[in-house]
Structure 1
Amino acid sequence: MPAADSLTTAPDREELSARYSGLLDVLRGAAASADTAGELPEEVFAALRASGVLGAAVAEEYGGLGGDAVLTNRLIELVAAADPSMAIILFQHYAVSARIGEWGTDAQRARYLPLLAGGEWIAASAWSESGAGADKRNLATKATRVEGGWRLDGAKTFTTGAGLAQVYLVLAQSAEPSGKQSTYGSDGQTFFLVEAANPGLVADTGMDLVGMRASATGFVELHACEVEDSAVLGPLGEATSIIAGVRESGATLGAVSTGIAESAYRLALAHAERRGLAGQQAVRYRLVDLAARVEAARALVERAGRRDSAEPGITTLHSKLIASTTSEEVCQEALRLLGSAGFLRSHPLNKLAQDARAVGLMGPTNDLCRELVSARWTA
C-alpha cells in the first residue's frame, strides 16, 4: 500500500471525522451485530486497512502518517464513538507500533513498521497473566536462553486482538529479579516480538466478556516458543524503562473513554429531541451537564497528547482516570434520562455502559493509575 498523506500536524476532530467518514460509517453499521457475535466482521478490517488509519503512529519513512499522541488520541476517540471494541484493538496496535519505532533496531523497524503502517499486519500486546497482578511484578512467563536465542513458556490473559494480530509484544521474565522495587513490572523482564506464525504461540479468543465483546480479547499461550535474539525489543532485562516511557508518550486509554462518553451523550440528546423533551428546562440542563463533562475529559486527553505539562506521565494517568470515570457516569446519567426506554436490553446505551466499565479495568487499571500517581508522595 502506498504511503498515506502526512498528518504530522494533527487535524482537529471535525476534519478527521470528515476524512475518515467511510471507515466510521462501516464501524457504526457493524457495531451492534459484532457485539452480539463477539467478533468483528471482515468488512470492518477491510475498511480499516484501506483507510490508512493503522499507520498513524508510524514514521513517514516506513509508510505511516508520522503522527504524534495528539493525532492517535483523536483518532482513537473518533473510532471509539463508533465502536469501542475496534478502538481498543487500534489503541494496542498504535502502542506496539510506537514502541517498535522508539526502541526497535533498524532491522526490526524495516521488518515490522511497513507492514503495520500499510494494514497488512495488526499488532497486539501480551503482557497480562493470571496471578501476576495489575502491576506485572510477578510474571510466570519465562524466557530461557537457548542456542541462538530464547525459549518462551507461559500464558497471557486479556490480550486484546488475540487471534487477529500477526505480531505480539510479549513481556517475559528473562532473569531472576534482584528485588529492586518498581511500581510497575520488575527488573529482569524483557519484551519480545513474537509473530503469530510461530508454532510455539497459540491464541485463543474464547473469553466471554461483558464489555468490549468484539475486541478479540483472549489468551495467548507460549509453549517452547523459540525466537531469535533479534526478537528482543529494547534493552535486555529492562522492560520497565519501556513501560515507563509508554506513560510519557501521552497516548491514553482516556481517548477510548471520551469516545464512549461522546456517543452516550449523543444518544441521550437524540432521545430528548425525538421525544420532544429538549424544550424542558430540567432536561436541557442535564444535557448541558453531560456535554460539559465530555468536553472536560476531552480537554485532559488532549493535554496528555500534547505532553506540555510539567509531568507528562502523570497527566496521562490523570486523563485515563478522569475520562474512564466520566464515561461510566455519563452512560449512567444518559440511561436515567431515557427512563424505561433504556431498560431494553437492545438499547445501544447498555452496550456503551458495559464498554465504559471495561476501560477502567484495562491496564493500567484505574487503581494502578492511582498507585502510580501516589507513589511519588511516598518515594
Structure 2
Amino acid sequence: MPASRLLPTAEGVELVRLVRDIAAKELDPRVDQAEAEGAFPRDVFRTLGAAGLLSLPYPEEHGGGGLGYETYLQALEEIGSVWASVGVGVSVHVLSCFGLAQFGTDEQRREWLPAMLGGELLGAYCLSEPHAGSDPAAMTTRAVRDGGDYVLTGAKAWTTHGGHADFYQVMARTSADRKGISCFLVPADTPGLVVDPPERKMGLMGSATATVRFDGARIPAHRLLGEEGQGLRIALSALDAGRLGIAAVATGLAQGALDRSLDYAHQRETFGRPIVEHQGVAFMLADMEAAVQSARAMLLHAARLKDQGLPFSKEAAVAKLVATDNAMRVTTDAVQIFGGYGYTRDFPLERYMREAKVMQIFEGTNQIQRVVISRALSAAAGRPPALVERKHV
C-alpha cells in the first residue's frame, strides 16, 4: 500500500506520481538480480537524470527543478522504497553538486552544472578518511598550490560511486590550521587519481563504495570551489541536506518493508485464518506503520524549514536519527513476520534489513546525530522558541 502524501504543489503531485511509475516499471524488475550480482546500474542514473530527477532541489536558473526539499525528499522516498542503492546514489549525487551550486562562481556553474544536474555526469562526495570519519577536521589529504594548479595527495574512504563517478567533490587540507580545508571539483580522469577495489559490504550491493587515492593528482586552480579555507563550511552545510536524503531513503525502505509484510500477512494463513488477523502480527504491523509515519513527519518538518530558508541542522539530525533507527526496527520486524522465509534470499526482506543497518552509520553515525542535537539544545537554552509564519508556496 503506497504511502499517502500531501505535496505543496500540483506539479509536485505529478512529479511524485512519475517517480512512483518509474520505480515500478524501471527499477523493481531489475533490483533483485542487480543486488545479487553487485551490478552498478549506471544507466538508471541517466534515466533518472533525463526525467529531471537528479536536479529537483536546485534552482531553475541553475538547470534544476526548483521544487524544494519537501517534494524532492518524497520523490526520493519512492525510489528508496523499491531500490535503496539507487536512492542512496541519487542522494549522494545531489550532495556532490552542492558545493558547485552554492559556492561556485557563475562561470563554474555555467560550465559544469548543467551536465551534472542532467545526469550526464555522475558525482561522488569525498570527505571521510580512514582515520577521519566523524571528525572531518582531522583529515590529512592535502592540496598544495603549485603555480596555476593544486597538487592533491592522500586518500578518501567510503566513497559512494567510487570508480564509477565522473567527478569527485573533494575536501582537502590547504593549510596547517585545523579548519584550513578547501573544496575541489576533481574530474575522474585526472592523472594520479586511483580507485581501490570496491568494499565487500553487508548490503547495498548495487552501490559501489571504494577508497579513492590521490597520488600527486594535479588540479587546475579554477576547480577550487569557494575560497581557500571554506571547505569545512561547505562540507558541513551540505551534510545537513545529505542527512535529509538518507532519512528519506530510510523511510522509503521501511515503507517498502511494511508494504511487503502487509501483503504477506493477508496471504499467509495459520490456524485457518490469515496471520494479519492474529493480534500479535496485527500489532506488529501497527507499530511498523507508526514508525514509518513518525519518520516521515520528522523528515518533512525539517524539509519545510529548509525550504523556508530557516535553520534546520538540528531537525535534519533528528530526522536522520529517527528515520534510520526506525528503518532498522521496521525491517527487523518484517523479517520476523515472514518467519523462516524472511531469513532466506528468496524474499527481499533480509536485504532490506541489511540495507537499513548502514543508514544508521553513514552521513554521520546516529551517535554523531545525538551530539549535534544535544549541542543545539545547549546552545538554545534560555532562548524563547521561534514562531515563524510559513510562507505559502
Asked if TM exceeds 0.5, the reply is yes
RMSD: 2.3
The one-letter code of the counterpart of 1:240 is L
Instruction: Answer yes or no: is the 8 Å Cα contact 2:49–2:55 preserved in 1.
Output: no
Q: Secondary structure at the match of 2:227?
A: coil
Instruction: Answer yes or no: is the 8 Å Cα contact 1:174–1:189 preserved in 2.
Output: yes
Indicate yes or no: 2:71 matched with 1:71: yes
2:301 aligned residue (300, 303, 318): 303
What is the 5 A alignment of 1:105-120? Answer: 105-120=105-120
- Whole-Å separation in 2 of the counterparts to 1:205 and 1:26: 28
* Superposed CA offset, 1:274-332 (max 9, x none): 11222333322321221121011001111111116975110000000000000000011
User: Match of 1:60?
Assistant: 60
* Superposed CA offset, 1:225-275 (max 9, x none): 111221111221122222332355484421111011001101110110111
The one-letter code of the counterpart of 2:362 is M
- Whole-Å separation in 1 of the counterparts to 2:240 and 2:343: 41
- Whole-Å separation in 1 of the counterparts to 2:169 and 2:301: 27
CA shift for structure 1 position 125: 0.1
- Whole-Å separation in 2 of the counterparts to 1:102 and 1:9: 25
Q: Secondary structure at the match of 2:138?
A: coil
The one-letter code of the counterpart of 1:219 is T
User: Match of 2:283?
Assistant: 285
What is the 5 A alignment of 1:148-187? Answer: 148-177=148-177, 186-187=178-179
- Whole-Å separation in 2 of the counterparts to 1:132 and 1:176: 16
User: Match of 1:217?
Assistant: 209
Instruction: Answer yes or no: is the 8 Å Cα contact 1:30–1:41 preserved in 2.
Output: no
The one-letter code of the counterpart of 1:201 is L
Instruction: Answer yes or no: is the 8 Å Cα contact 1:100–1:108 preserved in 2.
Output: yes
Instruction: Answer yes or no: is the 8 Å Cα contact 1:247–1:317 preserved in 2.
Output: no
What is the 5 A alignment of 1:80-91? Answer: 80-91=80-91
The 3 A distance-change label for structure 1 pair 90 and 76 is: same
2:196 aligned residue (191, 204, 207): 204
- Whole-Å separation in 2 of the counterparts to 1:221 and 1:253: 25
- Whole-Å separation in 1 of the counterparts to 2:259 and 2:131: 39
* Superposed CA offset, 1:154-189 (max 9, x none): 111110011221111001111002xxxxxxxx4101
1:190 aligned residue (159, 182, 186): 182
2:258 aligned residue (253, 258, 265): 265
* Superposed CA offset, 1:117-145 (max 9, x none): 22211111011111113221211211111
User: Match of 1:236?
Assistant: 228
Instruction: Answer yes or no: is the 8 Å Cα contact 1:162–1:218 preserved in 2.
Output: yes
Q: Secondary structure at the match of 2:145?
A: strand
CA shift for structure 1 position 352: 0.6
* TM-score using structure 2 length: 0.86
User: Match of 2:357?
Assistant: 357
User: Match of 2:369?
Assistant: 369
User: Match of 2:35?
Assistant: 35
Q: Secondary structure at the match of 1:369?
A: helix
CA shift for structure 1 position 373: 2.0
The 3 A distance-change label for structure 1 pair 59 and 245 is: same
1:256 aligned residue (235, 249, 254): 249
User: What is the aligned residue count?
Assistant: 365
Instruction: Answer yes or no: is the 8 Å Cα contact 2:203–2:354 preserved in 1.
Output: yes
Deviates more, 1:245-254 or 1:296-305: 245-254
- Whole-Å separation in 2 of the counterparts to 1:235 and 1:225: 20
* Superposed CA offset, 1:11-46 (max 9, x none): 557851345513442211211111122122454244
CA shift for structure 1 position 62: 3.5
The one-letter code of the counterpart of 1:273 is H
- Unaligned ranges ≥5, structure 2: 1-6, 269-273, 380-393
- Whole-Å separation in 2 of the counterparts to 1:203 and 1:114: 26
User: Match of 1:182?
Assistant: none
- Whole-Å separation in 1 of the counterparts to 2:153 and 2:334: 46
User: Match of 2:342?
Assistant: 342
- Whole-Å separation in 1 of the counterparts to 2:68 and 2:377: 30
Instruction: Answer yes or no: is the 8 Å Cα contact 2:328–2:356 preserved in 1.
Output: yes
The 3 A distance-change label for structure 1 pair 19 and 338 is: closer
CA shift for structure 1 position 9: 4.6
Indicate yes or no: 2:332 matched with 1:326: no
Instruction: Answer yes or no: is the 8 Å Cα contact 1:172–1:189 preserved in 2.
Output: yes
* Superposed CA offset, 1:192-234 (max 9, x none): 1001121121223421111111111111111111112211112
The one-letter code of the counterpart of 2:224 is V
- Whole-Å separation in 1 of the counterparts to 2:14 and 2:276: 25
- Unaligned ranges ≥5, structure 1: 1-6, 178-185
- Whole-Å separation in 1 of the counterparts to 2:24 and 2:125: 24
The 3 A distance-change label for structure 1 pair 83 and 10 is: farther
Deviates more, 1:366-375 or 1:209-218: 366-375
